[in-house]
Amino acid sequence: MKILVGLGTCGIAAGAERTYEALAKSQAAGTVPFELDKTGCIGMCYREPLVEIRSDDGSRVQYGNVSADKVDKLLSEHVVQGKVIEDWLVWADDGRGSERAYFSHQTRIVLRNCGKINPESLEDYLAADGYKALRQVLDQNDPDALIASIVDSGLRGRGGAGFLTGMKWRFTRLAEGDRKFIICNADEGDPGAFMDRSVLESDPHSVLEGMVIAAFAIGANDGYIYVRAEYPKAIERLNIAVAQAEAAGFLGDDVCGKGFSFHVKLKEGAGAFVCGEETALMASIEGKRGMPRMRPPFPATKGLWDCPTSINNVETFANVPWIVLNGAQAFAAIGTANSKGTKVFAMAGKIKRGGLVEVPMGISIRDIVFDVCGGIKKDKKFKTVQMGGPSGGFIPAELQDTVIDYESINKTGAIMGSGGLVVMDDTTCMVDVTRFFLEFTQRESCGKCTFCRVGTKRMLEVLTRICDGNGREGDIELLEQLAVLTKNTSLCGLGTTAPNPVLTAIKYFRSEFEAHITNRRCPAHQCKPLLTYTILDSCVGCLLCAKVCPTKAITGELKKVHVLDQSKCTHCGECHKVCRVDAIAVY
């Protein structure tokens, strides 16, 4: 019997390391015999720490929220008595478990090994058909046929823009140059997106294998993985994987003994969102300030150190070995006419089952939110999803039947982006969230283009004054004008997409902006300067609110209804927070 503990960043944050240690201690004590191993993230962040028990006959049972103090019960009941603990059961391969629906709607290609294998073990990856695709590609020794099959598969770049991966490879292959590079973009900077981190932490070899295959296709002998320094676990596991692959001959001077040479280096990003843009990313690898440059020339002809370079995203690379092994047709059979395969989404926000899901293209937003992820937390009203982070936009609940493919998403004004999907309910203020995104893009603008540098700042100022209750007539139109100008006159993706949250928020939630400006009201009760607090007759007179009020605006006697002096109130909301009988109304 084997016990696996999910040790991704989410799991560790939820206490999985303590669970692992407790299990290791019991194992060392030797009273109950079992094997113990680590694995990556299976995607159910909302039930971490997760523990899987694999019986000798191969059957799998997964338990959720297994904190260290539950280890003894787990061992005595499941391992010793062979009894499944129904209350903790998340999922079992015989069809039981409360969270069955989470997996039954998914098609796992990118996440095929995540949460199944030990990410620090090359043997585990090899046992899961690892590096088989690379061997096959090297045996066939036909880069053009390989590129043709990637083109046929319809795989499009998963970093957000959605360019055909095979075409990118073809351009780079055809470009003239003695030295060519392949770069893996793992600078996952979108707030709300964490699928690349999870793939790198849970299955780093699949990304490496995809990279070596791509390198062979375009004729590159050097590669870089540009990974965020904020992802220490991913960096640690990538380093282990690179060392293992080098030792086993999957990387190095003579890959698989076929005479092809490929070396990979890790570059840690130093925290700049704009470095997700390919030309800025290359400037950063070259040791410069990460500022984008004009395209063309595209990296495929003039990239890193002016050499032809193909830059692909983590998820794109993780798809490649699967496509090689299963054939382009198998991949193209999944999805819609122009968007093939699957997409991994990082589900977060006001959603019941937050985590990673991999769904076939063509599924609707409604199905992801309600069928896969169980709907909105506390069954509140579904308001909107935000797709694509600060470069993306809002898709309102009315459009929840929009299907996931590049073109349909673009039509709404949002973008597919890298796959962050943040769900919002009716307690989210759209003006406030839009301001939040602009705060981000304004801070991260590299400053090269005037409209991005100044335009984002002006938009942020307007949004801030609307949230502060100082919105003016004409502010909405001003925002629209600034948004369009910034979109049209910026060089790189950061500036051209930064106005998307503003434009989509106004398009779908204009009345909320108007309520802030005209009526000085925040319908979602989030913008504090616009809120009015009053004490209801149900006040029991406990004096708690009077004590916390920083401006002494609340007065009253014990067991008598208190009084709030509006002229002194600073709208801080502390009274509302401490009231135990909900006697403070907010409107």
Partner 1 sequence: MSEHRKFDFKKQHFAGEEGHLIPLLQRAQETDGYITRERIAEIHKQCGIPLAQIYGVATFYAQFRLHPIGKNLIRVCHGTACHVSGANDITKAIEDTLGVCNGETTPDRLFTIETVSCLGCCSLAPVIMINHSTHGNLTEKEVKKVLKQYQKADIGEVQ
In the structure encoding, which two tokens stand for residue 47, read together? 């039930």
Q: How many CB atoms lie within 10 A of CB 578?
A: 15
Nearer to partner 1, 134 or 283 (CB): 283
Tell me the helix, strand and coil percentages in the chain, rounded to 5.
45, 15, 40
Nearer to partner 1, 111 or 285 (CB): 285
C-alpha distances (whole Å) from 446 to each of 67, 267, 279, 289, 490 are: 43, 20, 13, 9, 11
Nearer to partner 1, 321 or 420 (CB): 420
Confirm or reject binding of residue 125 to partner 1 (CB under 8 A).
Answer: no
Rounded Cα–Cα distance for residues 159 and 316 (Å): 8
Give bridge partners of residue 266 from the DSSP assignment: 225
Confirm or reject binding of residue 347 to partner 1 (CB under 8 A).
Answer: yes
Confirm or reject binding of residue 221 to partner 1 (CB under 8 A).
Answer: no
Confirm or reject binding of residue 358 to partner 1 (CB under 8 A).
Answer: no
Q: 203 Cβ partners below 8 Å, 6+ apart?
A: 40, 111, 112, 113, 114, 117, 119, 125, 318
Confirm or reject binding of residue 422 to partner 1 (CB under 8 A).
Answer: yes
3-state secondary structure of 109: coil
* Residue choice 232, 259, 474, 529 for contact with partner 1 (CB under 8 A): 232
- Interface with partner 1 (CB under 8 A), residue total 54
Phi, psi torsion values for 487, nearest 5 degrees: -60, -45
Confirm or reject binding of residue 191 to partner 1 (CB under 8 A).
Answer: yes
123's enclosing H/E stretch is: helix 122-127
Confirm or reject binding of residue 469 to partner 1 (CB under 8 A).
Answer: no
Confirm or reject binding of residue 62 to partner 1 (CB under 8 A).
Answer: no
507 neighbors 308 (Cβ within 8 angstroms):
no
Nearer to partner 1, 347 or 515 (CB): 347
Confirm or reject binding of residue 493 to partner 1 (CB under 8 A).
Answer: no
Confirm or reject binding of residue 272 to partner 1 (CB under 8 A).
Answer: yes
Nearer to partner 1, 346 or 554 (CB): 346
Determine the distance from the C-alpha atom of residue 24 to the mean position of all C-alpha atoms in its chain, rounded to a whole number. 31
- Residue 577, classified by CB atoms within 10 Å of its CB into exposed (0-12), middle (13-18) or buried (19+), is exposed
Give bridge partners of residue 523 from the DSSP assignment: none
Confirm or reject binding of residue 124 to partner 1 (CB under 8 A).
Answer: no
* Residue choice 40, 349, 396, 523 for contact with partner 1 (CB under 8 A): 349
Phi, psi torsion values for 124, nearest 5 degrees: -60, -45
Confirm or reject binding of residue 325 to partner 1 (CB under 8 A).
Answer: no
Nearer to partner 1, 354 or 499 (CB): 354
* Residue choice 149, 244, 316, 386 for contact with partner 1 (CB under 8 A): 386
Give bridge partners of residue 357 from the DSSP assignment: 345
* Residue choice 20, 250, 440, 509 for contact with partner 1 (CB under 8 A): 440
> Where would I find the beta strands (DSSP E) of 20-154?
35-39, 51-54, 60-63, 89-92
Nearer to partner 1, 20 or 437 (CB): 437
Q: Which string of x and - marks every residue 8-27 that binds partner 1 (by CB under 8 A)?
A: -xx-xxx-------------
Nearer to partner 1, 209 or 277 (CB): 277
Least Cβ distance, residue 59 to partner 1 (angstroms): 28
DSSP letters for 176-207: --S--EEEEEE---STT--HHHHHHHH-HHHH
* Residue choice 154, 276, 290, 292 for contact with partner 1 (CB under 8 A): 290
- Cα torsion 282, 454, 441, 163: sign: negative
Nearer to partner 1, 28 or 378 (CB): 378
Binding site for partner 1 (CB under 8 A): 9-10, 12-14, 45-46, 48, 188-194, 197, 229-232, 267-273, 284-290, 305, 346-350, 354-355, 386, 389, 420, 422, 424, 428, 433, 436-437, 440, 444, 446
